[in-house]
Amino acid sequence: MEQLGQEQPRFIDPSDIYVPPGYVVENFIQGLDGPVNMVFTDDGDILVAESGYFSGVARILRISNDNVEVVDDDFLEPLNGVNYHDGIIYASHKGMITAIEESGSRRDIITGLPSNGDFPNSKVEIGTDGKIYFGLGTATNSGVVGTDNLWVHNYALLHDYPGSYIMLNGQNFQSNNMLLSEGVYEVASTGAFSPYGVPNRPYELRKAVVKASGSIMRCNLDGTNLEMVAWGLRNPVRLKFNHNGHLFASVQGYDNRGSRPVANASDYIYYIIPGVWYGWPDFSGQEPLTSPRFIPEGGKPIEFLLTNHPNVPPAPFASFPSNSSIMGFDINRNAEFGAVGDFYVAEFGSIWPPTSRQTERNPGVGHKISRIDPTTGGVTTFAINRSGFPANITMEGGFGWPTDVVFGPDGAMYVLDFGTNPLGSLVEYLPNSGIIWKITRI
């Protein structure tokens, strides 16, 4: 067990985490600050991306036995992921991807990504074709800029862009104009795929763009030949290739917020098919948002934003309850740990109030590690706090906010935990309260 950073008053007790019989949990590393992603190098070192969400310092750490060093700390916050390939570190930070050589020299291989909205660009993955793959999140929750998008004050012209030609229904959404001085009231009418305060007319067309909102992108290792693979994925937060070279993405679903709130939307793991539209902003999985279950309490039925849709959205590979906020995942290749091919997914959990009107937490939803049977798509719980709630609610010593799952070269599972909050607070954060947990089969 290793302590990094300044010690903080987070109680840690691995026995507070339930795992199936035959597995054991231990605290591997503690003292990380807002970690979101980790990866093992060819030498067995661990690279950890500390996001900088709270500290303002986004950095990559290298953990090697008892030695911890800062690889680089010159990134635009947030740092969303780190990966390693053929001796080169790839860092995904706000609006760009940077390659760092073993010598320490660095190159910004991709810049100008549309990552100033709600959801940024994701960690990169390297495909069997030798190309870089990564996700681009949407600028808004469900296609309409509203008062929930506080970035409007800095990026007043920002909005979502489609990955194929679309025609809009002309529906507009009203709000008090947030760009005016305090105390001044004026109605702003905003349409889909438009800047804040710009309405739609019926049957407006929008052109396809390469850097589309809610898309999967790929390019050469040097950043050239950037192209879109698929779109219609609200927040493709992580990607992973299986042993057959098939690409999967973890996608966070709609929130109950903004001018077009969506209630009870699921999170999904998708198998990514090139050239396909996956349903955002009019479907959740294969279910249209016009279905009654998506109507917020006391709200109005949701209408389609598009007059027609590029294709019928594919069925998800696996589904998760609303507010799971799924993050990183890995695929088991060690028969001694469990069934080969099973997916293990980190569920961050509800992040209200920034992304939802929901004020209650349901036990067993989020703040855990889930397992997916690839033959059925069935999801079961693998590791969870015994209370069913995160550590900041019960002050127990288990999971706070899991962000990543990675299998190490030793065959053990490593779980990255973002950290925890002070008792009674959902908006404050305990610095250096991040942890790497290790789960081993005995």
Is residue 268 included in any domain, yes or no? Answer: no
- Which of 300, 236, 232 minimizes the C-alpha distance to 262? 300
User: How big is the CA angle at 99 (ends 62 and 327), to the nearest 5 degrees?
Assistant: 65
**pLDDT for the residue 65:** 85
Measured CA to CA in angstroms, residue 85 lies from 8, 242, 404 at distances of 34, 16, 19
**pLDDT for the residue 393:** 82
**pLDDT for the residue 352:** 47
pLDDT above 50 (res 355): no
User: How big is the CA angle at 124 (ends 119 and 126), to the nearest 5 degrees?
Assistant: 155
Q: Confidence class of residue 358 from pLDDT cuts 50, 70 and 90?
A: very low
Q: Is residue 392 classed as helix, strand or coil in its secondary structure?
A: helix
Question: Before 202, cis peptide (omega within 30)?
Answer: no
pLDDT above 80 (res 424): no
Is residue 183 included in any domain, yes or no? Answer: yes
Q: Confidence class of residue 304 from pLDDT cuts 50, 70 and 90?
A: very high
Is residue 204 included in any domain, yes or no? Answer: yes
User: How big is the CA angle at 366 (ends 360 and 371), to the nearest 5 degrees?
Assistant: 155
Q: Quick one: which H or E segment has residue 379?
A: strand 379-385
Q: Report the pLDDT averaged over residues 86-94.
A: 97
The C-alpha atoms of residue 345 and residue 40 are separated, in whole angstroms, by: 17
Is residue 157 included in any domain, yes or no? Answer: yes
Is residue 162 included in any domain, yes or no? Answer: yes
Nearest 5°: phi and psi at 401? -130, 90
**pLDDT for the residue 356:** 43
**pLDDT for the residue 6:** 54
Average pLDDT along the chain: 93
Q: Confidence class of residue 176 from pLDDT cuts 50, 70 and 90?
A: very high
Residue type, 361: R
**pLDDT for the residue 222:** 96
Give the DSSP letter string of 95-155.
Answer: TEEEEE-TTS-EEEEE---S-SSSS-B---EE-TTS-EEEEE--SSSSS---TT-GGGGT-
Question: Before 353, cis peptide (omega within 30)?
Answer: yes
Q: Is residue 156 classed as helix, strand or coil in its secondary structure?
A: coil
DSSP 416: E
Is residue 363 included in any domain, yes or no? Answer: no
Is residue 29 included in any domain, yes or no? Answer: no
**pLDDT for the residue 183:** 79
Q: Quick: pLDDT tens for 134-161.
A: 999 999 999 999 999 999 999 999 999 9
Is residue 163 included in any domain, yes or no? Answer: yes
- Per-residue H/E/C for 306-336: ECCCCCCCCCCCEEECCCCCEEEEEECCCCC
Q: Please tell me the total count of domains within the chain.
A: 1
Question: Domain range holding 205?
Answer: 139-211
Is the model more confident about 131 or about 394? Answer: 131
Is the model more confident about 201 or about 362? Answer: 201
